[in-house]
């Protein structure tokens, strides 16, 4: 190599037909009427093969020689330069298709199906990626993303004080990278995202704000009864501690699901917190919620307003359709209107913890009965008809005792409710039940 020099190359004029100028060791300059191109020539399976390595003068003589040596080294290692080029071009094409955003969206579709996410949860996952990741690395080939680029995405979220969101985003990015490996879009050695990426603190257990002091609960109940906002909102607010079901479950209730004469609310599976496949399974029974007399009275009061069919707690906005539900933030908003901090004092979901704790402490009911009423992995969801009937009777008694206790607490702020089994026995006797359940002092606040 070294037969050509810059003067010869510049002096090489185009002819009617292209011709080659040899530099040595397989490197040639192809001179065409349209320009000059460097070519590396070699034998492949006994036949001549050519590989373009760049246009002159963009690729100088020195650069062309260096590239030719690299191709020669590939051949010495048993690699065909043309095949290597084909693979390189294909990888570049795939990289253009396998940007982080396109890969993430493909993963999202698959995960939504495989993991049976609800539409709401699936939307939340994608919004996190669209807000916190795509603007910075979405257009990059996933194999070209650097660890520091992912870390910066996570730290932007953390620095805004959204640690939980940062943890969720990291989990999603980790799944996207693993998906890219699984479909062959990423070398496993390039999958650097794991549960330690970004050095985020470990997730904190979240407890919904709840009031478990009887006196404070009594004050809250009085405030709720004095609420002078929308009547439908007031009804939902008052039913929340009485029934202590999930707020989403309550706001989606329909009149068709409630039998006021039988004092029973049958909450269909599709409105429960269940896996999507379980919601669709015809064998999944409704969650049965017995209604105390106080709840029946509240529902009868609003029946003329939103009955006889459709959503019980529909939006009362003049612009809303009659089939539109009240907002999922309505109860919390009402609590804030009453002056309560829904992050530190009480939240709509927190009434579940309130009831769970005080029913055990003040009324002495067994944990299992309470858990059935909360729809925590109950046999109602698993389909056991025997247990469903047995616990329904017990829950009827329990929920009426609870509603009566709430009335007592709301009636007198100075009322000191005895925390003992005698109270439960007296109340149970009024219901015609010898014993309401065994006494427990355990208070479990996370529901």
pLDDT cut 70: percent of the chain above it:
83
Residue 86 tokens read as 């084909």
Cβ neighbours of 377 (radius 10 Å): 10
Query: In angstroms, how far is CA 302 from the centroid of its own chain?
Result: 35
Residue 71 and residue 26 in contact, taking contact as beta carbons nearer than 8 Å? yes
User: How buried is 69 (Cβ within 10 angstroms: 0-12 exposed, 13-18 middle, 19+ buried)?
Assistant: middle
Residue 401 and residue 383 in contact, taking contact as beta carbons nearer than 8 Å? no
What pLDDT was estimated at residue 276? 65
What's the CATH code, domain 100-199? 1.10.150.130
Domains 6-92 and 100-199 share a fold: no
Comparing 83-97, 278-292, 381-395, which segment has the lowest mean pLDDT?
Answer: 381-395
What pLDDT was estimated at residue 213? 93
Q: Where are the domains of the chain?
A: 6-92, 100-199, 214-430
Q: In the predicted model, is pLDDT for residue 128 greater than 90?
A: yes
What pLDDT was estimated at residue 446? 35
Angle at alpha carbon of residue 46, lines to 26 and 53, rounded to 5° = 30
Instruction: Please report, for the chain, how many H helices and E strands are present, in that order.
Output: 19, 7
pLDDT in tens, 158-209: 999 899 999 999 999 999 999 999 988 899 999 999 989 999 887 666 678 8
Q: In the predicted model, is pLDDT for residue 58 greater than 60?
A: yes
Give the 3-state secondary structure of residue 325.
strand
Q: In the predicted model, is pLDDT for residue 427 greater than 70?
A: no
Distances (CA, A) of 300 to 4, 259, 260, 440: 100, 11, 8, 35
Q: Which residues pair with 265 in a beta bridge?
A: 258, 289
For residue 21, the 8-state DSSP code is: E
Task: Indicate the pairing of strand 258-259 with strand 27-32.
Answer: unpaired
What pLDDT was estimated at residue 1? 59
Summary mean pLDDT of the chain: 84
Provide the CATH topology of domain 214-430.
hpI Integrase; Chain A (1.10.443)
Half-sphere exposure of 365 (CA within 13 A, CB side): 26
Domain 6-92 maps to which CATH number in 3.30.70.330, 3.30.70.141, 3.30.160.390, 3.30.300.180?
Answer: 3.30.160.390
Give the 3-state secondary structure of residue 423.
helix
H/E element, 225: helix 214-225
pLDDT in tens, 321-367: 666 888 888 999 999 999 999 988 999 999 999 999 999 999 988 88
Query: In angstroms, how far is CA 110 from the centroid of its own chain?
Result: 14
Q: b/e for 133-142, b at 16 or more Cβ within 10 A?
A: bbeebbebbb
Of the spans 170-179, 207-216, 264-273, which averages the highest pLDDT?
170-179
């Amino acid at each position: 190599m070294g037969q050509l020099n810059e003067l010869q190359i510049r002096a090489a004029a185009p002819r009617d037909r292209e011709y080659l100028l040899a530099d040595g060791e397989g490197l040639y300059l192809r001179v065409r009427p349209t320009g000059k191109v460097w070519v590396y020539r070699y034998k492949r399976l006994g036949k001549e093969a050519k590989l373009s390595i760049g246009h002159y003068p963009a690729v100088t003589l020195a650069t062309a020689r260096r590239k030719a040596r690299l191709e020669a080294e590939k051949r010495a290692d048993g690699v065909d330069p043309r095949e290597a080029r084909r693979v390189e071009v294909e990888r570049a094409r795939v990289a253009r298709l396998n940007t982080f955003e396109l890969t993430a969206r493909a993963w999202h579709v698959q995960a939504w199906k495989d993991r049976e996410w609800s539409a709401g949860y699936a939307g939340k996952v994608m919004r996190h990626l669209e807000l916190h990741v795509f603007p910075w690395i979405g257009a990059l080939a996933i194999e070209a993303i650097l660890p520091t680029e992912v870390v910066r995405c996570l730290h932007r979220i953390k620095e805004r004080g959204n640690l939980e969101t940062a943890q969720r985003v990291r989990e999603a990015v980790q799944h996207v990278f693993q998906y890219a490996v699984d479909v062959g879009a990423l070398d496993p050695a390039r999958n650097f995202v794991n549960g330690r990426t970004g050095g985020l603190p470990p997730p904190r257990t979240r407890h919904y704000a709840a009031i478990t002091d009887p006196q404070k609960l009594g004050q809250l109940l009085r405030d709720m009864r004095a609420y002078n906002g929308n009547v439908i909102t007031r009804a939902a607010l008052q039913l929340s501690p009485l029934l202590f079901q999930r707020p989403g479950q309550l706001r989606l209730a329909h009149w068709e699901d409630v039998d006021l004469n039988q004092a029973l609310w049958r909450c269909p599976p599709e409105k429960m917190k269940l896996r999507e496949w379980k919601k669709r399974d015809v064998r999944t029974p409704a969650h049965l919620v017995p209604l105390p007399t106080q709840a029946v009275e509240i529902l009868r009061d609003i029946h003329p307003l939103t009955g006889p069919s459709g959503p019980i707690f529909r939006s009362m906005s003049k612009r809303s359709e009659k089939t539109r539900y009240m907002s999922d933030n309505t109860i919390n908003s009402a609590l804030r209107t009453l002056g309560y901090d829904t992050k530190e004092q009480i939240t709509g979901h927190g009434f579940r913890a309130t009831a769970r704790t005080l029913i055990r402490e003040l009324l002495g009911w067994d944990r299992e009965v309470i858990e059935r009423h909360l729809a925590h992995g109950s046999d109602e969801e698993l389909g056991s008809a025997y247990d469903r009937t047995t616990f329904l009777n017990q829950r009827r008694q329990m929920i009426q005792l609870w509603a009566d206790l709430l009335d007592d607490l709301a009636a007198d702020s100075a009322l000191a409710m005895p925390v003992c089994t005698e109270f439960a026995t007296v109340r149970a006797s009024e219901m015609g039940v010898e014993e309401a359940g065994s006494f427990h002092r355990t208070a479990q606040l996370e529901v």
